[in-house]
Structure 1
Amino acid sequence: MILTHIGGPTVLIEVDGWRLLTDPTFDPPGERYSFGWGSSSVKLTGPAVAPEDVGPVDAVLLTHDHHGDNLDVAGRALLPSAGTVVTTVSGSRRLGGAVGLAAGATTVLPGGPGRPSLSVTATPARHGPPLSHPIVGDVVGFAVRLADASAVALWITGDTVLFGPLRQVASSLAVDVALVHVGGVRFGITGPVRYTMTGREAVSLIGTLRPRIAVPVHYEGWSHFADGPAGLDAALAAAPGDVRSRVRRLELGTATSVA
């Protein structure tokens, strides 16, 4: 498996003949994006790879379509060129033509010469505190299996806080590589409430999951990451060695083998 972290939640995954892209964000920095109910964030850094340099994409795994830090204008423009877009049920209605999955549902992407079929299962995510769904909307993660394998080749947590169903997934799956969304998102208008995992919570999840490799993503490049790189650094410094040894932080824009 080769991973290229383009920035934020956007990662190009090359595995067994497949080219998958997560949460496409390719807008330049400097713009402020609204997240509803008076919340907003400024994009601070641009993508490490331009959309025209990404190359062909077989499938986009889109954890949610309604926040600009997970799907922006340039990322949206890329979607028609992708073979398949898999997202939430509500997102599929908004986008049209996408495969919509609720947590626990699975779709199979057919294989072909030189590559196996892919099984993509949506996993639970909650993008905020209890009862926040009417504000934050639907979000899912994705567990990707190659052909009929029982183990998960790749798990993407999606934008989520650490909550019961997420812990249950981490306890039940055998995962090779995990992309863990971190950052500890917080907005001034909602005070101390957080909308994604902090570094400490991500370390806890990795300790439960015990993947071969855990790659933190979506913790830099935006003003709403209250925990951010510093929080992740501190959490990893205090983490047990068994957790630290599993974490791989990628250099932006560099194709990295995690085989």
Structure 2
Amino acid sequence: MKHLYVDPRKEEAPTRERKAHLTCLPKAKETKLHPTRPGGETASLFFVGTATTILEWEGMRVMTDPNFLHAGDHVSLGPGISAERITNPAVDLQDLPRIDAVLLSHYHGDHFDQKVEESLRRDIPIITTLHAKSCLQSKGQESFSEVHDLESFQSLMLDIETGSIRAGKKPGIKVTGMPGKHVKPGLLSTANNLLKAVPPSNGWMIELGYRSASDSESFENSYRIYISGDTLMVDELKEIHERYKDQSIDLMLIHLGGTTLPSPAVPLLMVTMDAKQGVELVQLIKPDVTIPIHYDDYNVFASPLSDFKTAVDEAELSSKVVYLDRKDEYKFKV
């Protein structure tokens, strides 16, 4: 297993992605708790918009798929394909507190936009795909220096220095790459491999836990979060169930929206799960709680959140799903 050590105390101040005086996330518009067992919350997930969330626990902050464009801004989603953002993020990038690391599911403008690419400090740790790593490190003097790629089921220990040691143990975050596919196998996949229009995509398994302060290889999981990333309901996802069927998955962040290219009006290719596939994934993974994200921020989404809510109700899974609007947070117990 790879190890990535991060000491936020050595971060220069001010950095390009934050103002020096900011020390905490903005106050949430609404706080959601576990639907049936609230109490004892020690961690939070703040929803910025699209697939951008900020996980905060034990003094550590990890951001997923940073996208901070505003309504009316455009991103490229492949040769000749652009998408317009139709919402605003819950917070602007420059108004964030310190971010310790970034999980980037894939190198697409709606997950890592041009303003983010210009603004993030070059040495921020980024965990991503091999394709995204090659893109982020091919920019000459503007290349990102701390990019780490994970293949499916390959793990990395994110060891963030917090100064928090209790009973000889310190907190850590284990990140494992999960399979995901924008394009199902077949003729379209073959064509995409040639055209390289839609990039490879990862999901993630994030484990919050503790390890011995004297043994970097030890790790005891206390809370497990699965992030689907941009994927369709493909056979590769069944291996996640097989590998974790005897282990609890406490929370799932599921990328929905039925992203359709080049647009919902010309539906040639769907590259993320719609409502039906989303419910199928909930039934496969069986997480304790599911939070849908990535569902309405761009004009390429063809399957609105209301479709997912209806499908969840019909599958009698409502007690297992928490819905967040931008600037809402979910607090949970680790």
Is the pair's TM-score, using the shorter chain for normalization, greater than 0.5?
Answer: yes
Contact 1:43 1:223 (C-alpha < 8 Å) held by counterparts: yes
Structure 2 partner of 1:226: 302
Deviations 1:149-189 (A, max 9, x none): 35762111100001111132134323111111011111247
Q: What residue number does 1:51 align with?
A: 93
Equivalences for 1:1-259 in 2 at 5 Å? 1-65=43-107, 67-80=108-121, 83-96=124-137, 97=145, 98-112=147-161, 113-114=163-164, 115-130=170-185, 131=189, 132-133=192-193, 134-145=196-207, 146-147=209-210, 148-150=219-221, 153-173=224-244, 174-188=248-262, 191-240=267-316, 243-259=317-333
Partners in 2 of 1:37 and 1:18 — Cα distance?
Answer: 38
Post-superposition offset of 1:117: 2.1
> Between Structure 1 and Structure 2, whose CA radius of gyration is higher?
2
The Cα of 1:224 is off from its aligned counterpart by 0.5
Q: Distance in 2 between matches of 1:182 and 1:226?
A: 10
Cα 1:196/1:12, change in 2 over 3 Å: same
Q: Which moved more, 1:37-46 or 1:207-216?
A: 37-46
Residue type of the alignment partner of 2:153: G
Counterpart-to-counterpart distance in 1, 2:222 and 2:74? 40
How many corresponding residue pairs? 256
Contact 2:249 2:288 (8 Å CA) reproduced: yes
SS for the counterpart of 1:168 is helix
Aligned-partner Cα distance in 2 for 1:152–1:124: 20
Q: Is this contact kept in 2: 1:167–1:205, CA < 8 A? A: no
Deviation, structure 1 residue 200? 1.5
State how far apart, in whole Å, the 2-side matches of 1:255 and 1:150 are: 23
Q: Give the distance between the partners of 2:127 and 2:309, measured in 1 at CA.
A: 32
Gaps of 5+ in 1: none
Q: Secondary structure at the match of 1:109?
A: strand
Q: CA deviation at 1:251?
A: 2.7
Change (3 A) 1:245 1:172: farther
TM-aligned CA deviation for residue 129 of structure 1: 2.4
Counterpart contact for 1:171–1:209, Cα < 8 Å: no
CA distance in 1, matches of 2:119, 2:106: 15
Does the 8 A contact of 2:228 with 2:254 survive in 1? yes
- Deviation per CA, 1:225-247, whole angstroms, max 9, x where unpaired? 0012232222122122xx22111
TM-score by length of 2: 0.71
Which structure 2 segments of 5+ residues have no match?
Answer: 1-42, 138-144, 165-169, 211-218
Distance of 1:9 and 1:111 partners within structure 2: 23
Whole-angstrom distance in 2 between the partners of 1:75 and 1:170? 34
Instruction: Quote how far apart the aligned CAs of 1:250 are.
Output: 1.2
Change (3 A) 1:230 1:13: same
Question: For 1:90, what is the secondary structure of its paired residue?
Answer: helix
Does structure 2 retain, via aligned residues, the 8 Å contact 1:58–1:82? no
CA distance in 2, matches of 1:202, 1:172: 20
Q: Deviations over 1:8-49 (max 9, x none)?
A: 000011123221100000111102322123332211011011
187-196 or 53-62, larger mean C-alpha shift: 187-196
Structure with the bigger RCO (C-alpha within 8 Å, sep 6+) is 2
Q: Deviations over 1:206-236 (max 9, x none)?
A: 1121112111000011110001223222212
SS at match of 2:54: strand
Tell me how far 1:51 sits from its aligned partner. Answer: 1.2
Hey, what's the Cα distance between the residues in 2 that align with 1:193 and 1:234? 24
4+ residue segments displaced more than 6 Å: none
Please give the alpha-carbon distance, in whole angstroms, between the structure 2 residues aligned to 1:81 and 1:246. 39
Residue identity (%) = 27
